Structure 1
Amino acid sequence: MDNSLPGHQDFDFDWLVVGSGFGASVAALRLSEKGYRVGVVEQGRRFEDRDFAEKATQLGKFLWLPGLGLRGILRLAPYRHATVLAGVGVGGGSLVYANTMYQPQGDEFYRHPQWADLADWRAELAPHFETALHMFGVLPSVDARPVDGLMRELAAELGVPEGYRRTPVAVFFGEDGKTVPDPYFDGAGPDRTGCVRCGQCMLGCRYGAKNSLPKNYLWLAERAGTSVLADLKVVDIAPLGGGQGEWGFRLRARRPGLFPSGAREFTARGVVVAAGTLGTNELLAACKRSGSLPELSDRLGEVVRTNDESIPAATTSAPDADYRSDVAITSSIFLDEHTHVTNNTYGDGGGLLALSYGPATTARTALGRWGQFLLRYPGYLLSLLRRGRWSRRTIIFTVMRGTDVSLRLRKGFGPGRLQTESAGAPPGGASAVDVARRVASLAARKMGGRPLASLGETLGSAPMTAHFLGGAVIGADREHGVIDRHHRVFGYTNLLVCDGSAVPANVGVNPSLTICAMTEAAMAQIPQAQAADQPSARSATSR
């Protein structure tokens, strides 16, 4: 690829944002408001509300496997130590997220040694959390279903009745099914339709009630001039003129699929990499290996987090059981300062997810787990065929922990492919899995059913996580991190990372709000367009 300087310095954009999820959309809006010409490049497609799947069995709308022609909103990435769930499409993870907007509680996050000396993070992020809460219209959930009563009982039996909480959710409840003018942004946002309480949020909201990014940050960014370029995956970023970004960047993109097509190139003065933790780590690792971004810190791929997460479930054979909730997550239990449990539902549309679970095993060895699984799984499959309605009869639990455990990412098999390596105590270790098993077993007893575990956890010691974080984290310098406290990449000018890969510690709660707040803080450091001839975002050190 020719990375020489453009003959007339006529850039396609002032800033190009790679990705369109939580960090990307915040960056796009704030840069557009500052007067810059902004482009957003997203590998997934644009979804209208009516385009989302009604059931998980509609694979083309639900799963992201472009090599097989599936261009839905959920990517599943199996790794050695975790099975990662991530969002794809214009709006990124907000299309598939559970609307849950918690702020981290404990000092383990704000005062983690990876970044504690760089700022008083609790104080610095506080106003940006407030901004993000406002942008997403966050309110407490309505705990009016049997599942919420069960969660209250679980909290009491686990010894923490005071730990029960109604979950803060980003949903327009309004009047069921009624469409009204924008209720959030003085008429500048889209019309909204009141939640019909189907609980299918994680399949993508077909009714327009979910406060996803195309309804707030990204909607407003496009109205402010941002151009969204969908169906394009950025595969290379390189500074122009052989510099470090002071003369801008050239990006190469193509339409993803089994046979990638439609190659395109763009130039920009500055770049915000915000392709989600998976996408950002894959892209930056490829650029470092190819020599396009050789000055990237060797810490790239280190300090990778999973929220120390496990996602068990409990199911009952009772034919009339209904454990759906009004929205994807309505109740939380805080077991202690480290551990947080939520209920999850896919409404009536998540039956396919039953195939990713099996009876929970109790053996400590891999051989023992396999043996128990092989004995019990045929009966589980038979029960699915006989009874159906798995989504109604089942509660999926998310067990998150703000503990200090991490992985690292290294080159794996295949182009652009990464693989996890252990970095000390692995996520989902004995303590995390034990908590998950305890919660699922107790719930199953109350439901008159059985506990379940994800197949990745049972067969491969790879718990599922929807909260993959880190790999390009904040640090004091390039020996300790990939980006500085303002998200500027060490060694380059006008190159930022603003998504989950920047998060330096497990948050212990759903991280969407944290990613938004951290990006708001980073964007506050970018000057207005008229105040400079070009974006000014050079790392504090380029060593």
Structure 2
Amino acid sequence: MDNSQPAGQNFDFDWLVVGSGFGAAVSALRLAEKGYRVGVLEQGRRFDDSDFAERATQLRKYLWLPALGLHGILRLAPYRHATVLAGVGVGGGSLVYANTMYQPDSDEFYRHPQWDDLADWRTELAPHFDTARRMFGVHPYAGDRPVDDLMRQLATDLEAPEGYRHTPIAVYFGPAGQTVPDPYFEGAGPARTGCVRCGQCMLGCRFGAKNSLPKNYLWLAEKAGARVHSDLKVVDVAPLGGGSGEFGYRVRARRPGFARRGCRTFTARAVVIAAGALGTNELLAACKRRGSLPDLSDRLGEMVRTNDESIPAATSDDPGADYRSDAAITSSVFLGAHTHITNNTYGDGGGLLALTYGPATTAGTTSGRWGQLLRAYPGYLRRLLTDRQWSRRTVLFTVMRDTDVSLRLRRGFGPGRLQTEAAGSAPGGETAADVARRVATLAARRMKGRPLASLADTLGSAPMTAHFLGGAVVGADRDHGVIDRHHRVFGYTGLLVCDGSAVPANVGVNPSLTICAMAEAAMSQVPAAHEDPAPQP
């Protein structure tokens, strides 16, 4: 591959940002504010509020499977040890996230050995957490619905009544359905519409109330001059001139799907890789394998995290039960120092998810779980065929832990395919799966119904996670990590990683705010354009 760059040739952009999720949007705005010409490349489409699905059964709007013509906001990626849920589209994970913005509190994160010696992270990240909260308009949920009563009762059943609290969320709760001028950025942001309390946040907000990235960071980045290119999947990043980035980079992208069409090439002085933990690991692994970025650390793909997460559920047998909430997640239970549980609801629109769940099993072996499920599933399926209220009567529970459990990503079968391998294991005692079964069982008892478990977990021991992290983590040097404390890739000039793949430890809470704070910290170290002369050969 010829990556030569004639001396003096202009670049298409000063900085190219790969992805448009939390870390990418922060990077785009801060770089544009510093006076750089910024481009953003996103494989998904751009959505107006009216484009989002009303129900999960609207697959073209909801699911991401471009080979089948599905260009929605949710990607499901099955691996051997986890089933990953990731966001796609201009705004990345913020389109499908549950608006929940927790700051981690545990030293298991801030003092993890992977990066403890590099900084006092609790102090260093504190102002950047404040900035991110301000950008997202974070505030505690202030309602009280039946699902909140359920969570309060669950806290008591788990012997942690003091652990109950309302979650901090990023939603505009102005007058319901009423559109007003920008209430957050002194008129510089878009007009906003008050939340109608439908609880369908994770389908994408059709009403303009959800504080997603197109309403804050990306909106302001584009106003500052950043150019966002949608429907372009980056497939290669390579230094120009055969160097290590001192001459800039060539970035190749194409339309997603099987058809090799719409290929484009961009050049930039510097690049931020921020395609989400899943996309970044896939892209960097491909670049290392084909020789585009051969000097990437061999630690790439190590210390992959899932927030030690499991997502059980419980459904009520009462046909009149209604566990819909104002927003997707409204309450939390902190169980001890290391476990965090949230409620998750889909309003009336999540009925399709019933097909991904089945009756909870108790067997300890895979074959035992298969047997129990095969005996119980026909009855469950018969009920589903006549059930139009499953989404209304069902609550999903996200069980997260900050324990030091990790996976690694290695090359799998098929072009560009990665697969997980077990790495660090949990300490002895109750596992995340044990906690998930206990939560579902107790909740079902309160709901006068039945506990459920995801089929991926029951049949394949691959629990669902919406919080895939790590793989290109911060470290002291290339023998211990992929990027340095300022997110610069070891071995290369002008190449940064600023998304969930940089996070070195399980955070134990929803990680969106953490990703933003870490990206804010990284961008604070980039000099302004007038202070940053072009790299010299």
CA RMSD in angstroms comes to 1.3
Shift in CA distance, 427/449, structure 1 to aligned 2, threshold 3 Å: farther
Contact kept, 8 Å, 1:305 with 1:427, in 2: the verdict is no
* Helix, strand or coil at the partner of 2:269: strand
**Distance in 2 between the 1:418 and 1:142 partners?**
42
* Helix, strand or coil at the partner of 2:258: coil
The one-character-per-residue Cα deviations of 1:61-112 (angstroms, maximum 9, x if unpaired) are 0000001000000000000000000000000000000000000010000000
**Distance in 2 between the 1:218 and 1:351 partners?**
31
Q: For 1:400, give the aligned amino acid.
A: M
Per-residue deviation at 1:387?
Answer: 2.7
Per-residue deviation at 1:425?
Answer: 1.7
**Distance in 2 between the 1:354 and 1:190 partners?**
36
**Distance in 1 between the 2:453 and 2:211 partners?**
30
Contact kept, 8 Å, 1:316 with 1:393, in 2: the verdict is yes
The within-5 A match list for 1:299-314 is 299-314=299-314
Per-residue deviation at 1:156?
Answer: 1.1
Per-residue deviation at 1:317?
Answer: 1.7
Per-residue deviation at 1:2?
Answer: 2.5
**Distance in 1 between the 2:489 and 2:180 partners?**
43
* Helix, strand or coil at the partner of 1:46: coil
Contact kept, 8 Å, 1:308 with 1:427, in 2: the verdict is no
**Distance in 1 between the 2:213 and 2:427 partners?**
29
Q: 1:466 is matched with which residue?
A: 466
**Distance in 2 between the 1:159 and 1:350 partners?**
31
Identify which range, 419-428 or 268-277, moves more after superposition.
419-428
Contact kept, 8 Å, 2:296 with 2:482, in 1: the verdict is yes
Q: 1:55 is matched with which residue?
A: 55
**Distance in 1 between the 2:535 and 2:120 partners?**
26
Contact kept, 8 Å, 1:407 with 1:426, in 2: the verdict is no
Q: 2:119 is matched with which residue?
A: 119
Q: 1:540 is matched with which residue?
A: none
**Distance in 2 between the 1:173 and 1:459 partners?**
40
The one-character-per-residue Cα deviations of 1:180-237 (angstroms, maximum 9, x if unpaired) are 0000000000000000000000000000000000000000000000000000000000
The one-character-per-residue Cα deviations of 1:95-140 (angstroms, maximum 9, x if unpaired) are 0000000000100000000000000000000000000000000011
Per-residue deviation at 1:157?
Answer: 1.5
* Helix, strand or coil at the partner of 1:475: coil
**Distance in 1 between the 2:387 and 2:219 partners?**
43
Contact kept, 8 Å, 1:200 with 1:348, in 2: the verdict is yes
Shift in CA distance, 429/198, structure 1 to aligned 2, threshold 3 Å: farther
Contact kept, 8 Å, 1:406 with 1:427, in 2: the verdict is no
Shift in CA distance, 158/303, structure 1 to aligned 2, threshold 3 Å: same
Q: For 2:120, give the aligned amino acid.
A: D
**Distance in 2 between the 1:232 and 1:96 partners?**
20
**Distance in 2 between the 1:7 and 1:66 partners?**
39
* Helix, strand or coil at the partner of 1:39: strand
Q: For 2:324, give the aligned amino acid.
A: R
The one-character-per-residue Cα deviations of 1:214-266 (angstroms, maximum 9, x if unpaired) are 00000000000000000000000000001000010000000001213111000
Name the TM-score, length of structure 1 as normaliser. Answer: 0.97
Shift in CA distance, 446/108, structure 1 to aligned 2, threshold 3 Å: same
The within-5 A match list for 1:309-458 is 309-425=309-425, 431-458=431-458
Shift in CA distance, 374/430, structure 1 to aligned 2, threshold 3 Å: farther
Shift in CA distance, 344/311, structure 1 to aligned 2, threshold 3 Å: same
The within-5 A match list for 1:107-506 is 107-425=107-425, 431-506=431-506
Shift in CA distance, 66/6, structure 1 to aligned 2, threshold 3 Å: farther
Contact kept, 8 Å, 1:177 with 1:196, in 2: the verdict is yes
Q: For 1:490, give the aligned amino acid.
A: F
**Distance in 2 between the 1:101 and 1:263 partners?**
37
**Distance in 1 between the 2:535 and 2:447 partners?**
57
**Distance in 2 between the 1:94 and 1:420 partners?**
25
Contact kept, 8 Å, 1:35 with 1:530, in 2: the verdict is yes
Per-residue deviation at 1:143?
Answer: 3.1
Per-residue deviation at 1:7?
Answer: 5.4
**Distance in 2 between the 1:216 and 1:325 partners?**
25
The one-character-per-residue Cα deviations of 1:311-361 (angstroms, maximum 9, x if unpaired) are 000001211100111000000000011000000011100000000000000
Shift in CA distance, 515/209, structure 1 to aligned 2, threshold 3 Å: same
Identify which range, 7-16 or 222-231, moves more after superposition.
7-16
Q: For 1:424, give the aligned amino acid.
A: G
Q: 1:539 is matched with which residue?
A: none
Q: For 1:138, give the aligned amino acid.
A: V
Contact kept, 8 Å, 1:91 with 1:212, in 2: the verdict is yes
Shift in CA distance, 516/75, structure 1 to aligned 2, threshold 3 Å: same
* Helix, strand or coil at the partner of 2:235: strand
Contact kept, 8 Å, 2:404 with 2:426, in 1: the verdict is no
Per-residue deviation at 1:384?
Answer: 1.0
* Helix, strand or coil at the partner of 1:299: coil
Tell me the number of residue pairs that the alignment of Structure 1 and Structure 2 aligns: 536
Identify which range, 24-33 or 386-395, moves more after superposition.
386-395
Q: 1:509 is matched with which residue?
A: 509
The one-character-per-residue Cα deviations of 1:347-394 (angstroms, maximum 9, x if unpaired) are 100000000000000000011000000000011111112332111010
Per-residue deviation at 1:422?
Answer: 0.4
Name the TM-score, length of structure 2 as normaliser. Answer: 0.99
Q: 1:11 is matched with which residue?
A: 11
Shift in CA distance, 216/325, structure 1 to aligned 2, threshold 3 Å: same
**Distance in 2 between the 1:51 and 1:160 partners?**
41
**Distance in 2 between the 1:331 and 1:108 partners?**
23
Identity of aligned residues (%): 79
**Distance in 1 between the 2:262 and 2:384 partners?**
43
* Helix, strand or coil at the partner of 1:400: strand
Contact kept, 8 Å, 1:14 with 1:268, in 2: the verdict is yes
**Unmatched segments (≥5 aa) in structure 1:** 537-543
Per-residue deviation at 1:456?
Answer: 0.6
Per-residue deviation at 1:6?
Answer: 3.6
* Helix, strand or coil at the partner of 1:262: coil
Shift in CA distance, 483/351, structure 1 to aligned 2, threshold 3 Å: same
Per-residue deviation at 1:429?
Answer: 9.8
**Distance in 2 between the 1:527 and 1:321 partners?**
56
Per-residue deviation at 1:426?
Answer: 6.7
Contact kept, 8 Å, 1:358 with 1:454, in 2: the verdict is yes
Per-residue deviation at 1:418?
Answer: 0.4
Per-residue deviation at 1:428?
Answer: 13
Q: For 1:258, give the aligned amino acid.
A: F
The one-character-per-residue Cα deviations of 1:450-475 (angstroms, maximum 9, x if unpaired) are 00000010000000000000000000
**Unmatched segments (≥5 aa) in structure 2:** none
* Helix, strand or coil at the partner of 2:263: strand
Q: For 1:166, give the aligned amino acid.
A: H
* Helix, strand or coil at the partner of 1:506: coil
Q: For 1:203, give the aligned amino acid.
A: L
Q: 1:70 is matched with which residue?
A: 70
Shift in CA distance, 483/272, structure 1 to aligned 2, threshold 3 Å: same
**Distance in 2 between the 1:429 and 1:94 partners?**
34
Shift in CA distance, 307/292, structure 1 to aligned 2, threshold 3 Å: same
Identify which range, 304-313 or 416-425, moves more after superposition.
416-425
Q: 2:27 is matched with which residue?
A: 27
